[in-house]
Each structure stands twice: as structure tokens, then as C-alpha cells.
Amino acid sequence: MVQIGIGPWISYGDRLQIETMFVVLHQLHYIRCISSPAPPESRGYLLVHTNGGLNQMRAGICDMVAVARIINATLVIPELDKRSLWKDSSKFSDVFDEDHFINSLANDVRIVKKLPKELASAARAVKHFRSWSGVDYYEKEIASMWDEYQVIRAAKSDSRLANNNLPPDIQKLRCRACYQALQFSPQIEAMGKLLVDRMRTYGPYIALHLRYEKDMLAFSGCTHDLSPEEAEELRAIRESIPWWKVKDINPVEQRGKGYCPLTPREVGMFLSALGFTSNTPIYIAAGEIYGGDSHMSDLQSRYPLLMNKEKLSSYEELEPFSKHASQLAAIDYIVSVESDIFIPSYSGNMARAVEGHRRFLGHRKTISPDRKALVRLVNKVDQGTMIEGKKLSDRIIEVHRTRQGSPRKRKGPISGTKGMDRFRSEEAFYVNPLPDCLCQKESAYTNNSNAIV
């Protein structure tokens, strides 16, 4: 009997059988109920410049598939962001299976690899589509551009489509685009599955998205447990990047509000309190951890079986992907989606995307730390008013009893918010694609935090 994580225990083999059965039944239901009529005649071509990191681009691409359907456009394979902080030169086919993407969506949207030569010099409308827009905006304001242009270029792709209140067929198309059509390239898929197999040799494993990287800490202004020299380095980075608007950040307030990624030490305390034993295999899904061994020592001492891409593969195996941040992130994504338990230390784009994908695949266990509550408890330990032990463990388990990825409807906006803040406060579609992606009645979803499906 394998015991890993929180909740009722079943053997690992039985759990895999249950998950496999659920996924097969779910996919059969999905294929039957999520189909749509043939795409209408195309009125023009939609060019898309995606922006952000891998998972921000993925969500944007899937939204642009839906937008192309709404405005009767032929979608040209999107251009990936090469100007972001990571400066990744990867093109679409380097990261995703281009032919599979086109063929999988052939009954929904016409997709071509390139703009026809005769339109290469044609006048085109360059448009920043309004954020979180519904069908009316695209059918009226954007589609009206076909009267003057044959080509429309979307300057950005992130958050251009509303999370809620869209027609069911459009929501289902987003599901199919994200979870069926947008597969990674064969090389990335093979590498990801190889690492999954190697992690499995150690037993059921946790994928830990440890967002303790230089760019994240600089952006968020989080300096807890860092030296004055490290804090100054991060401040200088933040000052040097013009599109990061907030420069003056109080790190103590930031951490107290739960806005900081958990430190490796805090993660170690969290996992210990949840009852994970020292022989639990953990895959670190992340880039280079800031400070390296000096900041990883506490977590490493608690959990010696810490693995990552570099430890699980040879230099030769990893070298083809090594200079491409989006491709390395895609490998981490695969290992995280396939993990027995996924735990993110921060609720960024990667964490949200993996959580949503795992929900789609059958509510695989995802433990989302309550960072604000954890900071208060860690502070008590540091101040000597609480010790690591049963009291701390009981408190942390109780706080996280309903934060394990169990079935529930997508959360709407926070009460009292208006305008853009209202949309920003909604739970994103790709974080929790329920009930749209599963084609079931609302009553099928419960808030049972201990459900294993």
C-alpha cells in the first residue's frame, strides 16, 4: 500500500486502473459531445503574434482558434514570442506538433502554415484585441474589418477572450484546441515521457513547480531569506526592465499578503507537515533555482530524492533543448501533468495550466498551497511560538483540505469588483475548464476535497 499525500489511501496500481478507466470513459464522452459543425466559409486570414512564456502562449493560441471560428477567419500558424525575457528563438513547429494541430481542428477552423504569397504585401489591420471580450465584440467590431482588409493581425494573444458567458460550442472548441490539438512536438513528447518513466522507477512522485527563479523573485520583489547582496541584485534587475511597471516593492508586505513564491525551505516545511516521508521522489519543475545549493540545502536534507531534467538525463539527451526556454518548460509541463501529485509554489501561468490540464484528465491531485496562511505559520516557527510537529501538521492539513484539485465549478468574479478588475478576478478558463469541457450536468460536480477519480 502506497501512502503519498493527503486523503484516503488506495494502492498505486488500483489508483492507476481507476484513473485509466475514468480517462477512457471521459475521452469517449468528450469526443461524442464536443464535436461541432463544419467551419463556415473563410472571409480572410488571421495572423497572431503570441506573447509571454510557454503557457501564456498556449492559452493565447487556443483562444485565437476560437476567435478565428467566431470571425470566420483562416488562422495562420501563430508566431511565438521571441522578444520576451527568455529570448527564445523557437518557432511553432519546434514546440508543437504543427500537422497534428492543423488536422485535429480541420472540422472547426481552417489553419494554414503560411499566409498565401499573393497576400504577403496586402494591407492588413494590426489590432490589439480588447481583453476578456465576448462573441459580440468579435462578431461586430472585429469581423467588420473584413469589409476593408483580407488580413487581420492580432498584436497580442493573451486574455483576449472572456472566461465565461460564451456559447457552449466556442467553449468546447477551446477545450479541444488546448487538450487535444495543441500537442508538443514529437521530440519534446518523447523526452518528457522518458523522464516520466525514469521518475516512475523511484515510485509514485510529486512534481514540484518551484518558482524560486531569478526572474520571478526580481519581478515580485520577494527577498525573504536572501542576503543583502542578492536582494540588491534583484532590485537592479527589476529597475532595468522597462515593462515591469512596479519598481518600489516592500518585500515584507509582499510576503505577508501571500504574493511571494514559497522559498525552498518553506516548501520543505510544508511537505513535511503534510506527511510526505523523506523517501518521497520529487521532480523539480523549474529553471535555475536562485542561489543554487545555498538555498536548496534545507529542502534537499528533508527530501534526498530531488530530481530535475539535468539529473534524469544525459547531456546529449538534453542538449537539443538546452538553449530554448519554451522547450525546456514543455518538458517540465509533461512531467508535471503526468505526476502522481502536483504542487506549485506559486500560482503563475505554468501552475494554472498544469492544474487545469490535470482537472481535465480526471481531477488528478493538485495541492495548491495557501501561501498567506503558510507564511503566518512559518513565522510562528521562526519566532519560537510554535514548533514543527503535530500541531503545525494538523493546522496545515486542515487549511489545505479543500485545495487538492477536487471537482468543482469554475469560480466567477469576486463580489463587488467592476470593469477590468471584475474579469481579472475570475478564475481563468484554462485553470478549471469545468463544466464546459466535460459536457456533464452541474450536479455532477461536488466540492468533496477527498474525492479520488
Number of compact structural domains in the chain: 2
452 assigned to some structural domain: no
Q: Which of 156, 183, 210 is the last residue of a domain?
A: 183
- Asked if residue 367 and residue 300 are part of one domain, the reply reads yes
H runs (alpha helix) in 79-120:
92-95, 98-104
- Asked if residue 154 and residue 59 are part of one domain, the reply reads yes
Q: Which of 124, 151, 183 is the last residue of a domain?
A: 183
> Position of cell 534587475?
237
What is the reported pLDDT for 36? 61
- Asked if residue 229 and residue 96 are part of one domain, the reply reads no
436 assigned to some structural domain: no
In a 3-state reduction of DSSP, which class is residue 73?
strand
Torsion from C-alpha of 60, 64, 67, 68, nearest 10 degrees: 180
What is the reported pLDDT for 345? 97
380 assigned to some structural domain: yes
At residue 85, what are phi and psi to the nearest 5 degrees? -55, -30
Reading the block at residue 193, the C-alpha cell is 515521457
- Asked if residue 274 and residue 179 are part of one domain, the reply reads no
Taking only the tens place, the pLDDT of each residue in 379-425 is: 999 999 999 999 999 999 999 999 999 888 899 999 989 888 898 89
- Asked if residue 161 and residue 211 are part of one domain, the reply reads no
- Asked if residue 253 and residue 123 are part of one domain, the reply reads no
Q: Do the beta carbons of residue 348 and residue 219 sit within 8 Å?
A: no
Are β-strands 151-154 and 124-127 bridged in parallel, bridged antiparallel, or unpaired?
parallel
Q: Do the beta carbons of residue 432 and residue 171 sit within 8 Å?
A: no
- Asked if residue 178 and residue 104 are part of one domain, the reply reads yes
- Asked if residue 388 and residue 275 are part of one domain, the reply reads yes
pTM for the complete prediction? Answer: 0.88
2 assigned to some structural domain: no
290 assigned to some structural domain: yes
- Asked if residue 253 and residue 205 are part of one domain, the reply reads yes
Q: Which of 183, 204, 228 is the last residue of a domain?
A: 183
- Asked if residue 223 and residue 153 are part of one domain, the reply reads no
- Asked if residue 55 and residue 79 are part of one domain, the reply reads yes
169 assigned to some structural domain: yes
Distance separating alpha carbons of residues 312 and 301, to the nearest angstrom: 19
450 assigned to some structural domain: no
What is the reported pLDDT for 127? 94
What is the residue range of 148's domain? 44-183
Residue 341 belongs to what H/E stretch? Answer: strand 341-344
What is the reported pLDDT for 24? 40
What is the reported pLDDT for 3? 39
The CATH number of residue 72's host domain is 3.40.50
In a 3-state reduction of DSSP, which class is residue 344?
strand
What is the reported pLDDT for 82? 81
- Asked if residue 125 and residue 240 are part of one domain, the reply reads no
What is the reported pLDDT for 14? 40
**pLDDT < 50 positions in the chain:** 1-32, 440-453
383 assigned to some structural domain: yes
